[in-house]
Amino acid sequence: MMNESRRTFLKGAAFTVAGATLATGVFESVAEASKEATAEFTNTPASLDFYPPLEKWDSFRELDGDDWKRGGINRKGVRSDDNPDGIEVHDYTIVPCVCSNCEAGCGLTAWVDKKTLTVRKYMGNPLHSASRGRNCAKGYAVESQMYDPDRIPFPIKRAPGSKRGEGKWVRISWDQALKEIGKKMHDTLKSGDEISKKSIMYHVGRPNENGFGHRVPHTMGLDGYDSHTNICSAGARQGSIQWANDDRNSPDWANAKLIFLQSSHAADAGHYFQQSAGLIADARKKGAKMVVLDPRLSNSAGIADMWLPVWPGTETALYLYLANRILNEKDKNGDDLIDHGFVKNWLNWDRLMANREYLKFMVTKGYISKMPEDESYESFIEVMKELYAPYTKEYVVKECKLEGQEYKLDKLFEMFIEAGPKIATYIWRSGAIAHRGGWMITRSAFLPLALRGAMRGDVGGVSWHHWHKISIGGKGDAATVAGKKAPKVEVWNELAWPPEYPLSTYEMSYILPHLLMDEEWQNKWRARGLNVPTKLAVWIPRMYNPVWINPDGFRWIEALKDESKIEMSFNLSPTWSETNWYCDYVLPTGLAGERHDQQSEPTKPEQWTAFRQPVLRVALEKMGWKPKVEHRGTLEAHIKAGLGEIWEENEFWAELLCLHVDPDGSLGVRQYWESRKHPGKPVTVKEYYNAGFSLLPNLKKAAEAAYPDSEYPCYEFMRDRGAWTEKTNVYRPQEKELEFDGTYYHAHGHKYHVDEVEKDKFGVLWIVDHEGRKRSIGVEVEGKLYEGFHTPDKKLDLFCEWLIDWKWPEYALPIYPRNEREYDKMIHIVSQVHHRYINQENEFCLNTVFRLPYNIHTRSVNSKHLMEISQNHNPVWIYTKDAERLGIKRGDAVKIRIVDTVSGLESGYFIAMAVPTEATMPGVLACSHHAGRWKLKNAVEIPGFEHALGVMGLGAPLYEMTMDGKVGTLKPKEGIDEGINKRPKSWQFKAFNKDLDNIWWDGLSGSWQNAVAPVHPDPIAGNHAWNQKVILEKAGSDDVIGDIWVNYENNMKTYKAWRDKLTRPLTAQDRERRPYWMPRPAVPLSKKAYSCTIKDI
Amino acid sequence: MNDVLTKQMARVNLYALISRILMKELDEDFLEKLESDEMMLSFFPNYQAWEKPKELSKKELLESYLNVDFTNLFVLHLIPYESFYMREDQMLETGGANPVLQFYNTYDFRVQLEKARSVSPDHIGIELEFMYMLASSEYKALESGDEAVACEIAKIERDFLRDHLLQWTLMFLQNVKAEAGTPLYFDAASLALEFMFNDYEYLHELITEEGCRYAQ
């Protein structure tokens, strides 16, 4: 029986028009595409892997993304001549490389479209065991940098007759550059005297490789390497070196129970963060807690279990407070909290207890009240208990300005103890680079961890970097005619290692212009017998922009413009920069996917290495292309693929040094760069890296198995994979046993005859090296022989005995002023922005050293993607109540006047935008020093070239500059209006820049505060102490955000005040420039170079 | 035409009709067909009583009332997509993971989204047109005497109604009725609702374990 409504619907059968004429007709019949053509594609991915298996990398076909999301391949089939409406299928060669946009060395893969010879996207590298196929925003930005509309397309040279900084340039060929530069370097080196070996300086910013750059000055016999490290992380490194003679610590994040961070580094913006953040997330998933010490509520602090906003620079006090409680309290069972097993065996307490003289010194200093009864471990613990007892909760609350947050200290201690030895930390930039005595923050941070056994390098704890890192980038010697490393360098360059800073962690590179221009200083030391250079013949920055990123930028400009101080300069630079503007040549070298580098970093307890490559070259070679000149393969490939005349340092240096600097081999340089396989020609990258990677036994074995017939198996293995993990689970490496077979000790790959080895009363085994220096090879602990740590005594140096000989006895143990009186006595480890210096209501500490997750110091401005996501004008964070008190509202322009607390001089000011927030602590302003790029011309006309070369159009506004030798100013002029917005069509890389008409930002990414900042060289670690005391005012009616005004004459005086009031320079009593066992980074130096004779005057 | 084919033709035409109205804006040609067909018009009682079609030209009616209402109902204020109603997060699933798309693909039907002017294949108009396509196929099978094939198709129709359309369109069409600014869309929503439920009941009765009882 049919119901009524159904009967009603039957009327539908009686429509006068058929359904077919009513329906819209949105369905179509099945696509005609043949099954064969579409068989490799599915409508939805079969799995959610981001990456195809390795065997498909040489030729991986993928549907165009736009069509994929519209229903897959069945809709219209695959595009072909017969099926023009089909879906585009991209045929890729996937070439692995390594990101270069921070220091982490995350793996990348470049997806090279074989048809267009362009990189369509950069993804991660799943074979990279530390980055695990993941990248941050900066990694994916490599494509936008590669196809930056303002990329420098060919080598350029300062126009003849023009002055540095005038912005007049001509196009030259690489051949001309090689010839002219080669001649200058040849002429400099050929005199062979001491000064010639100090006259060429290779100044490397972010190296992102392990040893190649060092090899450049080394093979020329030069002490001529400057790094950026002393403005970056040297404070932290000093503390690590003092503990372990190792450059930095290396945590096992993933297995820790407490993630203990000072600053946002590691978790959201800083050193190694993409890899570390993933590992930290793994640990937290397993229940680990996270604590963040930071005056600023960073992203990390925001998601932490505890945020401790400690007054900048007072972190030492907090760490010593933890040490005090560990030493003086018991657990609930009444047992000690100290890990006696570790402390007794692996800290050098025995040397402290044996040094009666120093113990007496401690009594006179009031560190302890009386001499210990004996030299026993138990007495040592009593000394420690007394030494750290003053660092009480009441003390630390006052010192760190934690009033109202006392409860957090108890909670922190509880978390610290609950984690046992599984506490992971990475003490890096932040406080350690922000303050005078920043190194003592690191030194003290490791003390509570050591007392709890967390420094054993075991699972979930902290180890040291070199055990987790592979450095073979400088070791391709076997591929060269020389076949071996160059000998040690015989000279000491005071322009990088001045005698005021014998313990400087790294080169004093950021005061290079001050040293070059301070003739009084040069004459003083020349009179005392040191052969101080007065100029540089050639200065070579590489991937570096010191004018902008270093403090006191106007001083840099003064020096670079002075042709009597720097006779020739050339920048190996992938992008335009403020520094390029003042150089003689700009030689465009490759970005992350355009160069060869071996890179390895200590990001987890294993040894991985990655291989950066020019991806277009590799793709072309896989397609059968061959370069005409093998040692110029990268340059030729980039020209062939339409990228421009972009080269790479590896091939550049090999050709320059082999064929131009030392063409006849008379300087002894050529042999290190000439191919052993093809004499007369520069070594090729394939030969060089095959030799280097062959030094890794596990890699070599795997490579030879995978490529049995290859001429360069290790090179090809890394070319195809881009990453390799040589060892995993590298735990407690210091406990590697040292073998003794009755006749020989076997240590560190060498064997030593028993007669050569002497054991001291602390169990340390010593030998005498070929230069007559004593060096330790191992240590006996509880009757067993171990390789030990890298300190001379093979233990962790709680007691830095050598600081006594090097004039700083009061800091041989982790220490911090305990009262007002000691602030003055220990001024070297009291921050220049300590709250004792902040007295007026508009005086603040300016916290400058935090990174922005999307910025890359000086390398963001060439990335459209990164510029778009970073447009916040890098405001000045100010605590809400402070702002209220001073009548400052969000968006107000404020004047930040920088005042030095040593010289008492004012440096000038910058104008910035204020943002009141609860996310910075009272009294502390925050403004990252990583933003605020500028340019003086929108574009450069190159005679004979039809297009003007835009200058940093995407992100550097146009400014007007004045400078008269004393005062410098910079004022924003027109944003990026004329620079990019008026030329929305790029002449190069059009397909990647169709959206230039859609730039909505104004380019102002902050103020150039670095130029206002005077240099603050730490008297011990040598690093710049970044934070500043500032006076905050509302901006005047004529002031605009971006303005700066700098009295750089005052800045020079401030530099001298820090030098003269705080350092303890070398004297006539000193026979060496630096502790010989404390390695000089980069270039190995002979005993002769270390030796000195200084006259008393 | 026998009863079986008549019934089937009615289903074909009704799915065509409601899918068209709910798919995209109407046009003058459609209004012409509607108003010149008493049978069709009989499904729109409120529209028949509305004075505007009598006062205005079809173009004016479309531009001033019907298309405005359509835009309001289908583009601006209501979401005519299944995934919006069915997903916990109320996100539209526009890609290949949409279960409706997978349903179409299984039976070799391909949607031209540009033509449908939709962002996703689970738009109510597209789902109803899919029913129209199935019903048409069933009709052809019956016409050629292949009841077994027709029955297989009927099962697909039943499953699609049960698993998709009836899961969410009740809510959506009730909303249309509540929000409609013109009698046409009010009537269309009523028609679609009633017809789908009725049709599901029909299919449920039609299909047995042994086969379809077309002759009943």
CATH number at residue A388: 3.40.228.10
Q: Residues A873, A793: one domain?
A: no
A12 Cα to chain B: minimum distance (Å): 4
**Per-residue pLDDT, A81:** 81
Question: What pLDDT is attached to residue A858?
Answer: 66
* Boundary residue ending a domain (A146, A166, A182): A146
Chain B residues with beta carbon closer than 8 angstroms to that of A11? 10, 39, 42-43
User: How far is it, in rounded angstroms, from Cα A731 to Cα A250?
Assistant: 11
* B74 shares contact with chain A (CB less than 8 Å): no
- We report the CATH number of the domain holding residue A522 as 3.40.50.740
Task: Measure B51 CA to nearest chain A CA, in Å.
Answer: 24
CB B65 within 8 A of CB B50: no
According to the model, what pLDDT value does residue A30 have?
Answer: 43
Examine residue A246 and state whether it is found in any structural domain, yes or no: no
Kindly list the residues from chain A whose CB atom is less than 8 angstroms away from the CB atom of residue B116: 24, 26
Other C-beta atoms lying within 10 Å of the C-beta of residue A116: 12
Same domain, A127 and A163: no
Per-residue pLDDT tens digits for B29-48: 999 999 999 999 999 999 99
SS3 sequence of A661-672: HCCCCCCCCHHH
Sheet holding A289-293, edge to edge: A306-308, A289-293, A258-262, A423-424
Question: Domain end: A404, A427, A456, which one?
Answer: A456
Q: CA-to-CA distance for A952 and B194, rounded, in angstroms?
A: 65
pLDDT in tens, A375-408: 999 999 999 999 999 999 999 999 999 999 999 9
- Backbone phi and psi for residue A571, each to the nearest 5 degrees, phi listed first: -105, 120
Report the phi/psi class of residue A1000: left, alpha or beta, with left for phi > 0 and alpha for psi in -120 to 50: alpha
Give me the phi and psi of A1052, to 5 degrees please: -65, -40
Query: CA-to-CA distance for A249 and A238, rounded, in angstroms?
Result: 11
Sign for the pseudo-dihedral over CA of A468, A473, A474, A480: positive
Is residue A537 assigned to a domain? yes
B126 touches chain A (CB under 8 A): yes
Q: Do residues A297 and A425 both lie within one domain? A: yes
Same domain as A175, residue A223: yes
Query: How many Cβ pairs within 8 Å bridge chains A and B?
Result: 132
Q: Which residues contact B108 (CB under 8 A, 6 or more apart)?
A: A29, A30
Question: Which of B9, B13, B194, B196 to substitute to test the interface with A, most A CBs within 10 Å?
Answer: B13
What is the number of H-type helices and E-type strands within chain B?
14, 1
Mean pLDDT of B150-154: 93
H runs (alpha helix) in A255-309: 273-285, 299-303
Q: Is residue B215 part of a domain?
A: no
A440 in the same domain as A312: yes
Contacts of A343 (CB under 8 A, 6+ apart): A349, A450, A451, A453
Integer angstrom CA distances of residue A695 from A689, A699, A706: 10, 8, 17
String of DSSP letters for A140-184 = HTHHHHHT-TT---S-EEEPTTPPTTS--EEE--HHHHHHHHHHH
State whether A76 and A180 are in the same domain. Answer: no
Neighbouring CB atoms inside 10 A of B51's CB total: 7
Q: Which of A12, A21, A31 sits opposite B14 (nearest CB)?
A: A12
Across the interface, of B16, B108, B198, the residue whose CB is closest to A23 is B16
In a domain, A10, yes or no: no
Question: Per-residue pLDDT tens for B49-108?
Answer: 999 999 999 999 999 999 999 999 999 999 999 999 998 888 888 777 788 888 887 887
Mutate to test the interface with A, among B15, B112, B118, B140 (most CBs of A within 10 A): B112
Q: What pLDDT score was predicted for residue A492?
A: 98
Question: 10 Å Cβ neighbour count for A813?
Answer: 22
Compare CB distances from B13 to A13, A28, A71 and report the shortest one's residue. Answer: A13
- pTM here? 0.83
Q: Which domain holds residue A955?
A: 831-1062
Q: Decide if B56 touches A, using CB distance below 8 A.
A: no
- Nearest by CB to A72, from B94, B96, B109: name it: B96
Q: Does B203 touch chain A (CB under 8 A)?
A: no
Distance of alpha carbon B21 from alpha carbon A22, whole angstroms: 9
> Which positions in chain A touch B105 (Cβ < 8 Å)?
43, 71-72, 74
CATH number assigned to the domain comprising residue A858: 2.40.40.20
Evaluate whether A1086 touches A491 at the Cβ level (below 8 Å). no
The distance of B20 to chain A (nearest Cα, Å) reads: 5
Tell me which chain A residues have a C-beta less than 8 angstroms from the C-beta of B103: none
Residues 6+ apart with CB under 8 A from A328: A385, A388, A389
Is residue B80 within 8 angstroms of chain A, CB to CB?
no
Q: Taking the CB of residue B115, how many other CB atoms lie within 10 A of it?
A: 15
Residue B148 is assigned to a structural domain of this protein: yes
Question: Do A184 and A537 touch, CB atoms closer than 8 A?
Answer: yes
Which of A13, A69, A74 minimises the CB distance to B105?
A74
Q: Which of B203, B77, B80 is nearest to B131 (CA)?
A: B203
**Interstrand relation of A258-262 and A423-424 (parallel, antiparallel or unpaired):** parallel
Which tokens sit at A152? 């420098």
Whether residues A449 and A481 fall in one domain: no
Nearest to A230 by CA among A208, A204, A256: A204
- The answer to the question of residue B151 being in a domain is yes
Token pair in block for residue A15: 């429509």
CA separation, residue A963 to residues A148, A527, A557, A969, A1038 (Å):
31, 33, 9, 6, 19
| Contact list, B113 vs chain A (CB under 8 Å) | 26, 70-71
Is residue A573 located within the same domain as residue A641? yes
pLDDT of residue A62: 84
For residue A485, being part of any structural domain is answered with yes
Interface probe for B, chosen from A6, A27, A42 (most Cβ of B below 10 Å), is A27
How many alpha carbons lie under 13 Å from residue A1005 in its C-beta half-sphere?
30
CATH number of domain containing B158: 1.10.3480.10
* Overall domain count for chain B: 1
Q: Min CA distance, A136 vs chain B (Å)?
A: 25
**Which residue type does B193 have?**
L
Name residue A136's amino acid.
C
The amino acid at A783: G
Instruction: Identify all chain B residues contacting A23, using CB atoms and an 8 Å cutoff.
Output: 15-16, 19-20, 129, 132
Quote the domain boundaries for residue B78: 3-206
Same domain, residue pair A984 and A1019 = yes
What ipTM was estimated for this complex?
0.88
Total number of domains constituting chain A: 5
Domain stops at, among A122, A146, A170: A146
- For A73, name the nearest residue in chain B, comparing CA atoms only: B96
Q: Which residues of chain A have pLDDT under 70?
A: 1-3, 29-40, 42-48, 66-75, 858
Alpha helices for A347-496 (secondary structure H):
349-354, 356-365, 377-388, 393-399, 406-418, 431-434, 438-451
Q: Are A256 and A606 in contact (CB under 8 A)?
A: no
Q: For position A34, what pLDDT does the model report?
A: 40
Nearest to A9 among B113, B130, B198 (CB): B198
Element (H, E) at A996: none
Place of tokens 């990174």: A851
> CA of A282, closest CA in chain B: separation in Å?
26
Nearest in space to A849 (alpha carbons), one of A959, A928, A738, A911: A928
Phi-psi sector, A874: left (phi>0), alpha (psi -120 to 50), beta? left
Asked whether residue A700 is assigned to any structural domain, the reply reads: no
A504 & A385 share domain: no
Q: Which residue in A17, A68, A71 is closest to B111 by CB distance?
A: A71
Contact flag B43-A68 (C-beta cutoff 8 Å):
no
Query: Which 3 state secondary structure label does DSSP give A940?
Result: strand
Token couple for A90: 């991209």
Residues A141 and A160 in one domain: no
> What are the C-alpha distances in Å from A259 to residues A250, A276, A282, B103?
13, 11, 11, 49
Please answer yes or no on whether B6 and A10 come within 8 Å at the CB atom: yes
Q: From chain A, pick out residues whose CB is under 8 angstroms from the CB of B194.
A: 5
Beta-carbon separation of B97 and A15 below 8 A: no
Task: Name the burial class of residue A846, with classes exposed (0-12), middle (13-18) and buried (19+) by CB atoms within 10 angstroms of its CB.
Answer: buried
Angle between helices B3-23 and B183-206 (to 10 degrees): 140
Same domain, A571 and A429: no
Distance (Å, whole) CA A1046 – CA A962: 10
Nearest partner of A156 among A827, A939, A875, judged by Cα: A939
> Residue B211 falls within a domain, yes or no?
no
CB contact B24 to A (< 8 Å)? yes
Q: Which residues of A touch B33 (CB under 8 A)?
A: 16-17, 21-22
> How many Å lie between the alpha carbon of B52 and the closest alpha carbon of chain A?
23
**Helix, strand, or coil here: A95?**
strand
Using the CB atoms, write b or e for A1040-1071: b if 16+ within 10 Å: ebbbbbbbbebbbbbbebbbeebbebbeeebe
